[in-house]
Every structure is written in structure tokens, then in C-alpha cells.
């Protein structure tokens, strides 16, 4: 197995791209990543996406995107793992390079969620849950997070207002990210008065519906330096799963797939959580940010909210999270999100994160959560420059 | 192939107002929702068995932005509903609508409260279907 490096990154600003189609979002991010890597072609393209069939009537994204990139003939496939589709595409690309089957790979994520009306998008997102035993009972993607947050508050005694710092931190950082959907701060008061979607999840607990695409170019580490002035090593890549249905998980608040995939990643990278300089976590909902911090070893069970209250997740805190806005402020174009997390991590490791650049960032982690936690993918990245 | 313990069969049992699970002959666990393979004992035989219908509330949420099927059933922003996870007396958990609670005051809904199974009929003619629900015991 070969070590794999990221030698190029590209991203489309997250927004409601009503006039830009799915293929052109992918094209924009893909071309930017290729340009960043000083390449015109790659040997394989993997496109992470969750919803295109439902929201745009378009499947078969591998062939579609690779053709519009001017590379028809090249190996290409769509990779799907609900909201973890983006990291899954990077994972598959990494496996192709690590195994020696390909040398240069483009891994991307793309999602278009604003072509459909709210109810259709809600139904599409619910496809990440168990259709026969959850969705059939009136469960949506948001209600699953409502169940988890309510149970968490019950078990650990927190109130909804205690979760505000996850949102305040994400927006304070996203404000400086030109690619973020929301470039403005949110106050404690605004968070507290946001309307309920599915109690106790309010509008500001949730990441927005949006469109976007992001891409990375992967190459063998052994000659990455000849292609890029600042390659970033994929030091670990791990996937773990849990039952799709929340009711079928032995301990739903444990976010078991996050714990297992992080543990595998720490073992591969031979590091401890405290060695990390930042953590791009999956704050699709405030409760997911909390559960992810606990499952990855940054907080005891029930104590991630305390971490946020104590300022440990800000840029100058113990473990900065959502350094460029996270899912809450940058946006959560579901199948693209995992690749945005990795692109932002690379910016931090290259020292190009702008206003929210962390000093001496050398080691970062990105964790992408599919559905309410059934597929969770953890990557650890290391600066090589 | 052995019996599959499908959702279609599970729903047929619901239509007869029976909550049924798949009991593993080896470890004795009753899997609800039913599944053909026990994760602990993959070789074991499974058989359908009716549950007591008793349980307690493990988690709940009051839904203000409803999906299409619940909008069609008359719920929505002005008429929110409660959905939850119920821990059954036999040990496993299942998702179901929670009836008979005050959705205007989620603080009044108590995790741990005893519940009993209820069956909700929705739709007409060929569309008619029985849904699983629970209500205070
Ligand atoms: Zn068994």
C-alpha cells in the first residue's frame, strides 16, 4: 500500500445556485482542483453525491461529470453513503491510489438541493433513514436529531440554550470564509428564539439546505512533491457503520460509528486526539457536533456541551472546530460536505485559511456523518510542506 | 431461503392489531423491527412472536415541519405531532407516533413514561393502512 497525498483542491461557493446545474457545479470545483494540481487529466474520477436522482432527476454522475470535464473514456463512478458521500468518494479515490491501481485521481462531492420545494427535499433527505421502520412512522431527518437531542438533554441535564456556542462559533468563523453560505454572526439571543422544527431542534440548530461542489486531486505521496509545492498527506482514512435506524442502536447517544472510525484513524495515524490542531466535525445539527466530539475522545459522555460553553472549540480553544464555518455556516450540500471539510482542512494545513488561519496547523481531522450516524468516515490529514 | 421477516408481513400483523417481532431460538432476544438474522447468533432459527405491547418512552420529538405523509394525515405547523422511540417491555426499541400527549407543551412529556401500543388507521380503500403508535398506559 502506498501513502496518498492531496495535491490539489477546488470548491464552488456554497449557495442557492438556481441558475447553475448539477454538472456545472461539479465542473467548476473539478476544474479548480485540477488547476490547483497543475493537471489537465486524471486516471479516475469519483463523484460523491446523495440526492441527485430525487432532486434533479439525474443519476449516473460519474459518466456525466467526467464527460463535461473533457475526459470521456476515463474511469468514473458515483459514490453514495448519504451525507457521508463526499468523504466516501475521497476514501474510494484514496484506495485507488494506495493500491497502485491509479496514480492520479479526482475525488469530488456535488449536491443540488434547491431545485425542489422544501417538502420534496425533506423526503429526499429522509432516504438516509430506515424507510420501512422510521420514515413510515412520520420520521424525517430532522426528527431523528430531535429524538437524539431530547434524549441527550434528559440524560445529561442540559437545556437547549446550552448548545448555542456550537452555532455561534461556526458563524463567527464562517463570517470570514468567502465560500460560506452565511457570512454573518449569530447571537445567543437569535439562537434561542429560532423557531422549532422538531423539538428541541430549532431552525438555528440545523445546517441549511444549499447547493455546492468541492474536489480534491490525489496522488502517491512518493512523488507528490514533484507535482505540488504543498502536498498534504492523508495520514488516516477509516469508515465505520451502525444500524440505520436510531431505535436499533444499542446506545444511540454513543454515535458508535464515529467512535470506531475515529479509533481506527487514530491507530492508523499513530496519534492521540490531543495531537490534533483542529477538527472539522459534522455539525449538521448541534447535537451531532456534541456527539461527534464525545465519540472521538475530546469530551466525556454528556460533556461536549460543557466544552462549547467553556470556549474550548473556538480558534484559540483546546480543539478548534468548524474553523471555516462548518456545516452550519459554510452550508451542508449533503453529498459534497465531506469534500468541503477536507478542502478546508487542506487550506488550514497549507496556511491559506485566511482570517481564521490557525498558527502552525500541522495535523487536522475531518469527520463526515451519513444520516443520523449509520456511516461515519474519519480522515486525518498532515501538512508536508 | 428461510423466512425473511419482511416489513410487508410486519405491516400485515399491524393490520390485525398485533405487534410482532422475530424471536431468536438461540439467545431468546425478540427483534423488533423483525430481522431474519440475529446479529448475536447468525445461525439461529427465528420465529414470529407477538409482543406484550407494553413499553416506555425512550425519546421523543414534537414535529412542527411535517413530511408529506403526516401533512396528508392532517398534521403540520398548526397541528404538530409527537413521534418517539419506545423501549418495549421485551427490551428492544421501535419508532412510532406517540398519541395522547400534550404537544403544545413538550416539557410535559416524560421520558420513561409507561406506554401501551395503539393502532392508527389512515387512508381509504386500497390506500388504507394500519400504522404503529403508542399512547400513555
Ligand atoms: Zn440470537
Question: Model confidence over A125-141: pLDDT tens digits?
Answer: 999 999 999 999 899 99
Size of interface A-B (CB pairs under 8 A): 105
Output the pLDDT for position B2.
67
User: Residues A297, A369: one domain?
Assistant: yes
- Are both A318 and A378 inside the same structural domain? yes
CATH code of the domain in which A350 resides: 3.40.47.10
Reply yes or no on whether the pLDDT at A385 is more than 90.
no
Residue A55 has pLDDT above 90, yes or no: yes
- Tell me the per-residue pLDDT of A208-246, one tens digit each, with 9 for 90 and over: 999 999 999 999 999 999 999 999 999 999 999 999 999
Residues A111 and A257 in one domain: no
CB B9 within 8 A of CB B114: no
Chain A residues whose beta carbon lies within 8 Å of the beta carbon of residue B34: none
Q: Do B67 and A147 touch (CB under 8 A)?
A: no
Based on the structure, what is the number of domains in chain A? 2
Whether A126 maps to a domain, the answer reads no
Answer yes or no: is A157 within a domain: yes
What mean pLDDT comes out for the span A176-188?
98
Q: Are residues A177 and A66 in the same domain?
A: no
Domain-located, residue A272: yes
User: How many residues appear in chain A?
Assistant: 385
Question: CA of B46, closest CA in chain A: separation in Å?
Answer: 18
* Domain architecture of chain B: domains with CATH: 7-50 (no CATH), 54-136 (2.40.50)
pLDDT tier for residue A204 given thresholds of 50, 70 and 90: very high
The mean pLDDT of chain B is 96
**A29-49 mean pLDDT:** 98
Residue A151 touches chain B, beta carbons under 8 Å: yes
Q: DSSP secondary structure string, A2-53?
A: --EEEEEEEEPPPB--TTS-HHHHHHHHHHHHHHHTT-S--SEEEEE-SSHH
Check whether A1 has a pLDDT greater than 80. Answer: yes
Read off the pLDDT of each residue in A40-51 and give the average, rounded to a whole number. 98
Distance in Å, alpha carbon of A151 to nearest chain B alpha carbon: 5
In chain A, residues with a C-beta closer than 8 Å to the C-beta of B70 are: 138
User: Pick from A178, A125, A133: which is nearest to A285 by CA?
Assistant: A125
**pLDDT exceeds 60 at position B1:** no
Look at B2 and A94; give whichever has higher pLDDT. A94
- Cβ within 8 Å of residue A23, ≥6 positions away: A58, A64, A65, A68
Which residues on adjacent β-strands are paired with residue B88?
Answer: B55
Residue ranges of B 4-33 with Cβ closer than 8 A to chain A? 7, 33
Shared-domain flag, residues A79 and A183? no
Nearest Cα residue to A141 out of B83, B112, B94, B87: B83
Give, in order, the Cα–Cα distances in Å from A301 to each of A174, A285, A296, B58, B65: 28, 17, 11, 18, 30
Q: At what angle do helices A141-156 and A286-295 cross, to 10 degrees?
A: 60
- Residue A53 confidence (pLDDT): 95
A270-285 average pLDDT score: 98
pLDDT above 60 (res A42): yes
Query: What is the SS3 assignment for A137?
Result: helix
Q: What is the mean pLDDT of chain A?
A: 97
Say if CB A300 and CB A294 are below 8 A apart: yes
Q: Are residues A158 and A105 in the same domain?
A: no
Same domain, yes or no: A275 and A344? yes
Residues near B131 by beta carbon (within 8 Å), at least 6 away in sequence? A136, A137, B14, B97, B119, B120, B121, B122
**Would you call A147 and B94 a contact, using CB atoms and an 8 Å cutoff?**
no
Identify whether A241 is part of a domain. yes
Whether A135 is in a domain gets the answer: no
> Mean pLDDT throughout B33-39?
95
Is the Cβ pair B63, A140 closer than 8 Å? Answer: yes
Which run of H or of E encompasses A232? strand A232-241
Window 85-144 of A: residues touching B by CB (8 A cutoff) are 118-119, 122-123, 126, 130, 132-140, 142-143
Is-contact A149 A285, C-beta < 8 A?
yes
Q: Are residues A82 and A213 in the same domain?
A: yes
Q: Are B60 and B83 within 8 A, CB to CB? A: yes
The whole-number pLDDT of residue B3 equals: 85
* Catalytic residue flag (residue A332): yes
Q: What distance in Å separates the CA atoms of residue B115 and residue A44, rounded to the nearest whole number?
A: 54
8 Å CB contact of A150 and B71: no
Residues of B with Cβ-Cβ distance to A246 under 8 angstroms: 59, 85, 95
Nearest chain B residue to A155 by CA distance is: B111
Residue A239 sits at the vertex; the CA angle it makes with A233 and A245, to the nearest 5 degrees, is 150
User: Which pLDDT tens digit goes with each residue over B11-27?
Assistant: 999 999 999 999 999 99
Q: From CA A363, how far away is CA A350, in angstroms rounded?
A: 11
Q: Do B59 and A200 touch (CB under 8 A)?
A: no
Average pLDDT over residues A238-267: 97
Catalytic residue status for A176: no
The span from the CA of A171 to the CA of B11, in Å, is 45
Percent of chain A with pLDDT over 70: 100
Q: What is the pTM of this model?
A: 0.97
User: Which of these is catalytic: A17, A83, A171, A210?
Assistant: A83
Question: Domain span at residue A73?
Answer: 4-118+209-224
C-alpha angle A13-A16-A17 in degrees, rounded to nearest 5: 75
Give me the sheet containing B20-24, strands edge to edge: B30-31, B20-24, B46-50
Inspect the interface and report whether the beta carbons of A196 and B64 lie closer than 8 Å.
Answer: yes
Residue A350 lies in a domain: yes
Phi, psi of B117, deg, nearest 5 = -65, 150
pLDDT of B127: 86
| Cβ–Cβ below 8 Å for A123 and B106 | no
Is residue A131 one of the residues assigned to a domain?
Answer: no
A253 in reach of chain B (CB within 8 A): no
Same domain, A112 and A162: no
Residue B29 CA to ligand 1 centre (angstroms): 6
Q: Residue A307 pLDDT more than 90?
A: yes
* Helix A164-174 with A286-295: angle, nearest 10 deg: 100
Average pLDDT estimate for A247-260: 97
Beta-bridged to residue B76, according to DSSP, are B79
Residues A23 and A76 in one domain: yes
Mean per-residue pLDDT, B84-107: 97
Task: Report the distance separating Cα A49 and Cα A244, nearest Å.
Answer: 18
Please give the full DSSP string across A81-108, using - where no structure is assigned.
BTBTHHHHHHHHHHHHHHTTS-SSEEEE
- Please tell me whether residues A298 and A220 are part of one structural domain: no
> Who contacts A16 (Cβ-Cβ below 8 Å, separation ≥6)?
A114, A210, A211
Q: Identify from A248, A252, A285, A371 which residue to disrupt to test chain B contact, counting B C-beta atoms within 10 A and taking the largest count.
A: A248
Query: ipTM > 0.90?
Result: yes
Q: Are residues A47 and A163 in the same domain?
A: no
- With vertex at residue A348, the alpha carbon angle to CA A281 and CA A239, rounded to the nearest 5 degrees, is 40
- Looking at chain A, list the stretches that DSSP marks H as alpha helix, in order from N- to C-terminal side: 22-36, 52-55, 61-68, 85-98, 118-125, 141-156, 164-174, 188-192, 221-227, 256-269, 286-295, 304-309, 326-329, 334-350
pLDDT digits (tens, 9 = 90+) for A315-360: 999 999 999 999 999 999 999 999 999 999 999 999 999 999 999 9
Pairing of strands A4-11, A212-220: antiparallel
Position A220 scores a pLDDT of 98
In a domain, A311, yes or no: yes
Amino acid at each position: 500500500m502506498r501513502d496518498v497525498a492531496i495535491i490539489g483542491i477546488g470548491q464552488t461557493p456554497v449557495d442557492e445556485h438556481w441558475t447553475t446545474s448539477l454538472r456545472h457545479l461539479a465542473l467548476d470545483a473539478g476544474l479548480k482542483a485540477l488547476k490547483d494540481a497543475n493537471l489537465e487529466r486524471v486516471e479516475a474520477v469519483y463523484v460523491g453525491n446523495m440526492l441527485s436522482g430525487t432532486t434533479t432527476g439525474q443519476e449516473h454522475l460519474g459518466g456525466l461529470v467526467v464527460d463535461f470535464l473533457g475526459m470521456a473514456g476515463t474511469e468514473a463512478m458515483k459514490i453514495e453513503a448519504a451525507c457521508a458521500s463526499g468523504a466516501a468518494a475521497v476514501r474510494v479515490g484514496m484506495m485507488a491510489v494506495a493500491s497502485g491501481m491509479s496514480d492520479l485521481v479526482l475525488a469530488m462531492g456535488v449536491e443540488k438541493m434547491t431545485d425542489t420545494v422544501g417538502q420534496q427535499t425533506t423526503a429526499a433527505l429522509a432516504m438516509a433513514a430506515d424507510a420501512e421502520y422510521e420514515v413510515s412512522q412520520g420520521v424525517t431527518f430532522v426528527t431523528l436529531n430531535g429524538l437524539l437531542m431530547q434524549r441527550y438533554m434528559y440524560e445529561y441535564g442540559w437545556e437547549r440554550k446550552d448548545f448555542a456556542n456550537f452555532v455561534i462559533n461556526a458563524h463567527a468563523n464562517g463570517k470570514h470564509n468567502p465560500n460560506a453560505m452565511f457570512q454573518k454572526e449569530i447571537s445567543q439571543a437569535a439562537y434561542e428564539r429560532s423557531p422549532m422544527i422538531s423539538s428541541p431542534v430549532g431552525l438555528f440548530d440545523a445546517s441549511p439546505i444549499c447547493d455546492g461542489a468541492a474536489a480534491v486531486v490525489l496522488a502517491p505521496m512518493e512523488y507528490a512533491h514533484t507535482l505540488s509545492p504543498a502536498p498534504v498527506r492523508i495520514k488516516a482514512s477509516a469508515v465505520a457503520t451502525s444500524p440505520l435506524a436510531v431505535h436499533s442502536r444499542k446506545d444511540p447517544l454513543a454515535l458508535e460509528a464515529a467512535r470506531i472510525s475515529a479509533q481506527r484513524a487514530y491507530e492508523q495515524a499513530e496519534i492521540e486526539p490531543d495531537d490534533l490542531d483542529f477538527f472539522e466535525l459534522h455539525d449538521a445539527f448541534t447535537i451531532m457536533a456534541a456527539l461527534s466530539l464525545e465519540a472521538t475522545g475530546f469530551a466525556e459522555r454528556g460533556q461536549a456541551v460543557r466544552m462549547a460553553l467553556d470556549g474550548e472549540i473556538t480558534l484559540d480553544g483546546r480543539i478548534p472546530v468548524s474553523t471555516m464555518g462548518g456545516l452550519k455556516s459554510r452550508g451542508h450540500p449533503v453529498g459534497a460536505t465531506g469534500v468541503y471539510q477536507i478542502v478546508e482542512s487542506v487550506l488550514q494545513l497549507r496556511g491559506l485559511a485566511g482570517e481564521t488561519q490557525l498558527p502552525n496547523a500541522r495535523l487536522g481531522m475531518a469527520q463526515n456523518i451519513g444520516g443520523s450516524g449509520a456511516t461515519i468516515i474519519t480522515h486525518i490529514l498532515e501538512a508536508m510542506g | 431461503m428461510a423466512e425473511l421477516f419482511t416489513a410487508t408481513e410486519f405491516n400485515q400483523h399491524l393490520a390485525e392489531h398485533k405487534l410482532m417481532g422475530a424471536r431468536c431460538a438461540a439467545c431468546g432476544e425478540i427483534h423488533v423491527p423483525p430481522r431474519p438474522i440475529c446479529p448475536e447468533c447468525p445461525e439461529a432459527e427465528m420465529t414470529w412472536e407477538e409482543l406484550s405491547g407494553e413499553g416506555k418512552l425512550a425519546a421523543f420529538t414534537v414535529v412542527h415541519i411535517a413530511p408529506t405523509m403526516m401533512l396528508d394525515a392532517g398534521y403540520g405547523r398548526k397541528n404538530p405531532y409527537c413521534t418517539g422511540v419506545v423501549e418495549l417491555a421485551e427490551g428492544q426499541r421501535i419508532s412510532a407516533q406517540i398519541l395522547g400527549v400534550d404537544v403544545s407543551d413538550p416539557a410535559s412529556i416524560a421520558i420513561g413514561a409507561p406506554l401501551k401500543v395503539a393502532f392508527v388507521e389512515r387512508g381509504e380503500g386500497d390506500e388504507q393502512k394500519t400504522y404503529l403508535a403508542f399512547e400513555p398506559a
